[in-house]
A = this chain, B = another copy of it.
Amino acid sequence: MDHPYTRIKGGVCASKEFLTSAVSCGIKNPESDRLDLSLIYSKRDCLSVGMFTQNKVKAAPVRVSQNHLRANPIRAIISNSGNANACTGPNGLKDARNMASETAKLLKIKQREVAVCSTGVIGLPLPMARVASKYELLIAGLGPKNGNDVAKAIITSDTHEKEFAISFDLDGTRIRIGGCAKGAGMINPNMATMLCFITTDANLSSSCLNRAVKDAVENTFNRITIDGDTSTNDSVIVMANGAAENKRITRGTKSCRIFAHALEFVMSKLAKAIVRDGERVTKFVTLEVKGARTAMDAKKVAQAVANSSLVKSSWNGEDPNWGRIIHAVGYAGASIREELIDIYYESKSACEGGIQGPTNPEVLRSIVSKADFKITIDLNLGSAKHTIYASDLSPEYVEFNRSEYAYWKQAKKDGLV
């Protein structure tokens, strides 16, 4: 058995005593009735951890949520899609705070117990009149639902919702971890244009939870790339409400390690789902760099290769072009020796000691023609390694991202610009 987890239904609402709700405000398009405002709420007090974009340009909701999570645990997350509320200045901050304060008022909790997340177009004000008119409906809709409402309400250019939940035994008690995520574009290590919300009913110490979330994000969301663009809004928020009533898990114990592993398992499923559903993506490539002198060298090489437009174009073209891979290795800024580099497609050697390996290119081509394959780069200099999950770059990605100008027109119609 690969893992001791049972996959369960319910997504972000799978954990006990969490409620969700979602409504449609027409944020991006007033004529649309797609869900775009959602809420996750814990009936009990929570522990919570948030990790946010490393972009120095941060959206207003990121600033607000960082403040709230720094001060104390939160127990509700309100989020919208269709507008990132980024680069919107003091008015944007006011809007994000309004989302938190109005939600808190209706839930009868403190404003600082509410996190706010937004995703969508950058630089345009949120149409707050449309958002504010739905707060009551949103709160009234809260229930122990299947979580799918939130998963649907947070997506933007994703083609489908992403959710995953498991249960497992810990010290004789059944624990649940569930979550949902959105991705699609602006996806790069050190997070992505992504939102991810995770709930668990595990009862654990804040230091066990903090460490587990940090490690899990490092090994999952910080290892995916679609287009190399780190967004302004990336947020991962984890809430733990203890409703499973297991014996409290403390840091450094075996139980804490088991919990951490399970959390990483859930995040890994969601992170990989983001890559597979990247904008106009046709390939899922596991790129492993090993034999590096240092962990930083391994990471630099993996990122350079995974973000090279030429490498990614060749994946799209199903071309086993190891020449482009080694050229990206060369400019990664890592310690390398060209004549020691080996490159494998699955287990087949494409490049050996810096020159062409023994495998017939037709065999390599059949590997790259699959939707999902692994490339290993062995620098043969040391023992450090790093793995990244990457996508190809398609003509359709560029076509898709040529223009967001229609949003400006809508904003003008709304009198917002």
* A interface residues (Cβ-Cβ under 8 A, vs B): 54-58, 84, 86-89, 92, 121-124, 185-186, 188, 190, 227-232, 308-310, 313-314, 316-324, 326-331, 336, 338-339, 341, 351, 353-356, 361, 365, 393-399, 401-405, 408, 412, 417
Contacts and interface: CB of A to CB of B under 8 A. Distances in A.
A317 B308 CA distance: 21
A399 B319 CA distance: 12
Contact of A123 (B124, B231, B323, B336): B323
Give the one of A318, A326, A398 with max B CB within 10 A: A398
A227 B356 CA distance: 25
A351 B230 contact: no
Nearest to A401: B313
Contact of A393 (B92, B230, B309, B327): B309
A412 B362 CA distance: 11
B54 A331 contact: yes
B122 A309 contact: no
Given A309-B398, A313-B401, 10 more contacts: A56-B338, A57-B329, A121-B323, A229-B308, A229-B324, A229-B331, A309-B401, A314-B402, A361-B405, A361-B412
Contact of A395 (B122, B328, B396): B396
Contacts of A399: 395
A87 B354 contact: yes
A191 to B, nearest CB: 10
A327 B86 contact: yes
A398 B408 contact: no
A404 B325 CA distance: 13
Contacts of A318: 402-403
Contact of A309 (B55, B229, B395): B229
A230 B395 contact: no
Give the one of A231, A232, A316, A323 with max B CB within 10 A: A323
Contacts of A351: 87, 123
Give the one of A123, A339, A404 with max B CB within 10 A: A123
A319 to B, nearest CB: 4
Nearest to A230: B331
Contacts of A319: 402-405
26 contacts: A55-B330, A55-B331, A56-B330, A57-B326, A57-B341, A87-B356, A88-B355, A89-B339, A89-B353, A92-B355, A122-B323, A122-B326, A123-B355, A228-B308, A229-B331, A231-B327, A232-B330, A309-B309, A313-B401, A314-B403, A317-B402, A317-B405, A319-B404, A321-B404, A361-B412, A395-B395
Main SS of chain A's interface residues? loop
A373 to B, nearest CB: 16
Nearest to A89: B355
Give the one of A87, A308, A321, A329 with max B CB within 10 A: A87
Contacts of A320: 405
Give the one of A84, A328, A353 with max B CB within 10 A: A328
Contact of A354 (B89, B231, B339, B401): B89
Contact of A405 (B229, B322, B365): B365
B310 A356 contact: no
Nearest to A125: B356
B314 A401 contact: yes
Nearest to A88: B355
Contacts of A58: 330, 338
A189 to B, nearest CB: 11
Contacts of A396: 395
Contacts of A54: 331
Contacts of A405: 317, 319-321, 361, 365
